[in-house]
Amino acid sequence: MTVAKKTGKKGLETEEIVRSYFLQAGFFVLRGVKLRHAGDELTDIDLWLYERSATLARRRIIIDIKDNAQPKAAERLFFVKGLAEFTQVEAAGIVTSDPRRSLRDLARKHNIIWIDNADLQRLKASQRLSVSSRLSDEAFYGLIGRVDAVRSTKSIRDRFNSLKSSVSDRFGPSCANQAIDYMQEFASFAMKSHPNSFQSEAFTRLVYFCAAIAAASLDFACGEIALRPASERLASLTSAIRHGEDAKGTAEKLRWAEAAIREFAPNGAGLAEMIRSRFNEALLSVPAEGLAEVVARMGNSERLFEGARNLEYSSYSITLPTFDELTVDARSFLGAVLDFLGIERARFSSCWTHSGRSFALAKDFTGESEAGENERPIEEDGKLL
């Protein structure tokens, strides 16, 4: 008897359907977030959700999905409850093929969102969810892998994974700053690529994705300062963009460095004073006020959150929109970040002017390999650099 080989495809398709459900319900959703500590991968979060329900109300939710013959739902319930506490999110949920009613009651008792087999089958049967205008994560990874193959590296995939991981442990200004740093790098690569090539498509998608993470992260930060006077909100956001999440921590590290220089370096006092002065000058030279003003204005309503959702949707859309085709909120935030980075909007927008179907769906391109190991280097438009 021939035993069918387990490919995991069923589980991946279920994750995409459940992601579509939460996206259509109004959440900001990431799939396949790797939880890391000290460079080690600890586990995967199947779905990571961010919800903005009111001016002050923000909520992060992690969802564990198991769709197989032996889902071990009780074990997953205990696991996701502990993972929620470890990552300090506001809620957690389970999607399982287990039909037992008793587990639903147990989940309710412990405040776990529960989607069991009956619910799951309804989601799978939904034509609205099963027919998608989005690339799957596997197709997105395949496109990134194709670019990495041409460059003989895995750096683009690694940055993509690193950025997704950042929402699990430092969602907020620090996460936004990392997204903006990567956005600058990806925009530079996009502008060095042949216009409308698969490289320019991949990097345009990555710029949109980075902008989505930055917008969502800054919207989360806006929730903590929503009731402060406008001048204080602006000052707080300006500081966050310049320093990251922990401005006091940055200042403390600088004081420790100063003390060490004073103690051990020749002419330590003068050298320490010069370093402090140069450091402060460099920080003040960062043109954060303009971006902070846009964030404060958009974060005062749902515009920043909706801009984040549209940028995420655009980054995964089968028909990749051009810069001018983005929604007003998405274009406003993306444009503000480009201005902050000193990147000309017109130059970036010229990287992708074609509204056709994604290269990731080309017949000769499977998109099956996350790392792109199965893809031969393709030089249709020449190498990137």
Minimal CA–CA distance to 295: which of 164, 382, 130, 176?
176
**Residue 148: which pLDDT band, with cuts at 50, 70 and 90?**
very high
**Residue 153: which pLDDT band, with cuts at 50, 70 and 90?**
confident
What is the per-residue pLDDT for 97?
A: 92
The pLDDT tens digits for 202-234 are: 999 999 999 999 999 999 999 988 888 989 998
Q: CA 180 to CA 215: how far, in whole Å? A: 10
Please count the CA atoms within 13 angstroms of the CA of 128 that sit on its side-chain side: 7
What is the per-residue pLDDT for 381?
A: 39
Average pLDDT over every residue of 87-107: 93
CA distances from 112 to 83, 158, 287 (A): 12, 32, 43
Q: CA 335 to CA 32: how far, in whole Å? A: 28
Please count the CA atoms within 13 angstroms of the CA of 20 that sit on its side-chain side: 23
Average pLDDT over every residue of 315-322: 95
Q: Would you mind telling me the total number of residues written for the chain in this entry? A: 385
The pLDDT tens digits for 103-116 are: 999 999 999 999 99
Average pLDDT over every residue of 269-293: 65
Whether 62 contacts 52, CB under 8 Å: no
Beta strands 28-37 and 91-96 are unpaired
> Can you read off the two tokens belonging to residue 87?
């990552």
The pLDDT tens digits for 336-377 are: 999 999 999 999 999 999 867 788 887 555 444 333 333 333
Whether 376 contacts 149, CB under 8 Å: yes
Whether 150 contacts 332, CB under 8 Å: no
SS3 (DSSP) at 15: helix
pTM of the model: 0.85
For the domain made up of 9-130, the CATH class stated in words is alpha beta
What is the per-residue pLDDT for 283?
A: 47
Minimal CA–CA distance to 293: which of 253, 239, 250, 237?
237
Query: 204: burial class by Cβ within 10 Å (0-12, 13-18, 19+)?
Result: buried
What is the per-residue pLDDT for 168?
A: 94
State the DSSP string of 278-323: HHHHHHHHS-HHHHHHHHHHHHTTTHHHHHHHHHHHHHHBSBPPPG
3-state secondary structure 218-286: HHHHHHHCCCCCHHHHHHHHHHHHHHCCCHHHHHHHHHHHHHHHHHHCCCHHHHHHHHHHHHHHHHHHC
Q: Which of 4-18, 24-38, 223-237, 358-372 has the lowest mean pLDDT?
A: 358-372
Q: Where in the chain are all domains bearing CATH 3.40.1350.10?
A: 9-130
Q: Is the pLDDT of residue 72 over 70?
A: yes
Please count the CA atoms within 13 angstroms of the CA of 293 that sit on its side-chain side: 7
Minimal CA–CA distance to 202: which of 163, 160, 152?
160
What is the layout of strands, in order, in the sheet containing 58-66? Answer: 28-37, 40-52, 58-66, 91-96, 112-115
